Structure formats: C-alpha cells, structure tokens
Amino acid sequence: MNAPIAKPKSARVDAAAIVRSARTVIATEAAAIRALEPRIDDDFVAACGLILGCKGRLIVTGMGKSGHVGRKIAATMASTGTPAFFVHPGEASHGDLGMILPQDVVLALSNSGETDEILFILPVIKRQGIPLIAITGNPDSSLAGQADVHLDAGISAEACPLGLAPTASTTAALVMGDALAIALLEARGFTSDDFARSHPAGSLGRRLLLHISDVMHTGPGIPTISPEASLTEALMEMTRKHLGMTAVIDSDQRLLGVFTDGDLRRALDDDGVDLRNAKVSDLMTRGPKVISADKLAIEAAQLMEKYQIHALLVVDHDQRVVGALNIHDLLRARVV
C-alpha cells in the first residue's frame, strides 16, 4: 500500500531570503567558472590535440548529472565541427561499447572520478588503445589516474547549501566542455556556413543557406514589359504577377528600369503627366536596386530594409533579368 503524499506546509514567502539565496547560487557558480581559467594549460592543449587528431568520433560519457552535461557537450561538439555522440556508461557495459571504435577518442565526465559505471568500462577502452580524456573534480581520482589527459574542473563548494545537489560542479564541467568545443571550432576554421549546414531547419540555417535562386520567381512568373508599353499595360502586368512592380526590359531582356506602385502614385500626383498617353519608360525608375541569384536571401532582406523597398529584380552579370522577388517571398521562406 502506498503511503499518502504529505501536503506541503503553507509558509509565508520571505522575498529577501529568496533573492539572497538565488544571488548566492549565482556568485558561487560564477566563482567556480573563474577558477577554471588558470587551469587552461598544457593539458587542455593536449586534450584539443587528441580530438583534432581523431580519425573517428569523440565519444562522450558520464553518469547522472554528469551524463546530462555530457549529452550537451556532445551536441555542442557535433554542431561545431567535431563529430561526437553520447554513450551512456551503464548501457555501454551491456552492448553499447560496440559503438566505440579504436579510431575514436573518449571524453569521460565524473565529478568524483570514481563513478563505478565508467571505471567498469575503462579496461575495454584502454585495451583498444582508445585515447581517454577525463573531466573530473578530483585530480587524484581513479578516472583521472587512468586518463591520457585530465582536465581539472574541481570546485571549492557546491551552490547547494546542503552540499549535495550537483550545481557548481556541473556548471564547471559544462563550461570546460564549452571551452573545448570553441577552441576546437577555431582551430578547425569552422565558419558560420559550416554551422548552418548542421542546423538546416533552424532560423540560422535559413539565413545562411537559402539563396536568392531558392525563393525568386522565374520564367513566366517575372513581371516584364517593354519601354513602349502603356501605363495600362504596366498595371495589368503588375496585377497578373502580384509583385507590386514590373521590370522594364529591352529586346535582349536587359534591364532598363522598374515601374512600381510608388511610381504609379507619384504619376497620379503629378498634374503634368498625361496618364492616358504616357509610356511606362516616361514614368519608370531608372537604375533600380537589383541583386544576383547567387546572393543569400537574407541579403535581399537587408537591401530592402536599407532602401525601404518591398521588391527586387534579380539580374545576371549582363544585367539581364532572370528573376524577381518581394518581401512576401522572404516572409514565406521565414528569412525575415
């Protein structure tokens, strides 16, 4: 029979105590992070060297809270140019050790350095000659002693007032892992384009991978008219293509100008314009802003914002019109 769940005692909230507690936690964990800086030494460089020289993948392992930190480190590594994944040490001894190959490098996390599940699989790892990097809070621990490289993430105190819940220790291990990831990123010359390729579904991926050619209207979808066209013909073309403008082109498809909703409003406001007999070449904007198809879509958005326009024509190196797009195309593509 299950014991009844005790009802929480009602208590008056002491706002000052809550704020004091939270600030103490932040101060304690900030101190733990600051203490890591002088430990970025030759051992840290050696750890980076092992990972950079790895022909396989970085295998991250850890138990409990260290495991949660390890999963995040593996994910950060994988997204910043270091192939990596997490292996649970408990599952490793029941078959998952087959995921770890001789060409890999293992990064093991344990605050105490005495985690049984990790120590149990170390002989198999060492027998295969797999390099071992350990992040622990105890340089004299069993794990630190068996590691090829040990990174000290020790702390003076946990932020938990009971000294039980992993708080400052997990923060220190996480920051040490982030330091490794970013140092490796820079050593590899990893770029924002590389990052976007591993995040194609995210907003960054859309910004860095989507090109003008991916979103522009082409062929019959491009609004075009000749310079001899009437205002009525220009308006009909704009209405058919739904882009709020039309390109004015010569017989070789080269751009002469653009006629937009703004040009129409200015013509309607000009008493000197004979709207019935005017040719579109008399009313168009010459030298409009254009973009090439190989540019990023985000560059089109920046150009539109800078010049307060809502559509762009896409031209090739000979100024032939090859496409067109407007702000709605960028919105649909979730570039803006």
What are the helix (H) ranges across the chain? 15-34, 42-52, 65-79, 89-92, 116-127, 142-146, 168-188, 192-197, 203-209, 212-215, 231-241, 261-268, 280-283, 297-307, 327-332
* Domain range for 255: 212-333
Are 167 and 101 within one domain? yes
Give residue-wise pLDDT tens across range 128-148. 999 999 999 999 999 999 999
What is the pLDDT, as a whole number, of residue 203?
A: 54
Q: Could you tell me if 125 and 270 lie in one domain?
A: no
Question: Are both 128 and 162 inside the same structural domain?
Answer: yes
Percent of the chain with pLDDT over 90: 68
Q: Are residues 166 and 221 in the same domain?
A: no
88 labelled binding-site residue:
yes
Q: Is residue 200 part of a domain?
A: no
Token pair for 132: 């071992």
For 36-62, what is each residue's pLDDT tens digit?
A: 999 999 999 999 999 999 999 999 999
Same domain? 154 vs 243: no
Determine, yes or no, domain membership for 32. Answer: yes
Residues 127 and 254 in one domain: no
> Taking the model in full, what pTM does it have?
0.65
Q: What is the pLDDT of residues 93-118, one digit of tens each?
A: 888 888 999 999 999 999 999 999 99
Domain containing 31 — which CATH number? 3.40.50.10490
In a domain, 198, yes or no: no
Same domain as 250, residue 120: no
**Residues with Cβ within 8 Å of residue 52, at least 6 apart in sequence:** 184, 187, 188
At which of 159, 190, 221 does a domain end?
190
| Confidence grade of residue 2 (pLDDT, cut at 50, 70, 90) | low
> What six digits make up the tokens of 62?
């850890």
Q: How confident is the model at residue 211 (pLDDT cuts 50, 70, 90)?
A: confident
Q: Is residue 13 part of a domain?
A: no
Do residues 63 and 162 share a domain? yes
Q: How confident is the model at residue 181 (pLDDT cuts 50, 70, 90)?
A: very high
Q: Among residues 201, 188, 168, 123, which one has the least CA distance to residue 27?
A: 168
Residue 80 lies in a domain: yes
Q: How far apart are CA 98 and CA 104, in angstroms?
A: 12
What is the band of 4 on the pLDDT scale with cuts at 50, 70, 90?
Answer: low
Q: Which residues, including other chains, have CB under 8 Å from residue 48's CB and lie 6 or more apart?
A: 180, 183, 184, 187
- Residue 88 inside a domain? The answer is yes
Q: 165 and 276: one domain?
A: no
* 201 has pLDDT over 70: no
Do 168 and 226 lie in one domain? The reply is no
pLDDT of residue 94: 85
Predicted confidence at residue 12, as pLDDT, reads 80
Q: Are 329 and 244 in contact (CB under 8 A)?
A: no
Question: Distance between CA atoms of 281 and 95, rounded to whole angstroms?
Answer: 75
Has residue 14 been placed in a domain? no
Is pLDDT of 6 > 60?
no
CATH number, position 321: 3.10.580.10
Q: Which residues contact 201 (CB under 8 A, 6 or more apart)?
A: none
* 3: confidence class by pLDDT, cuts 50, 70, 90: low
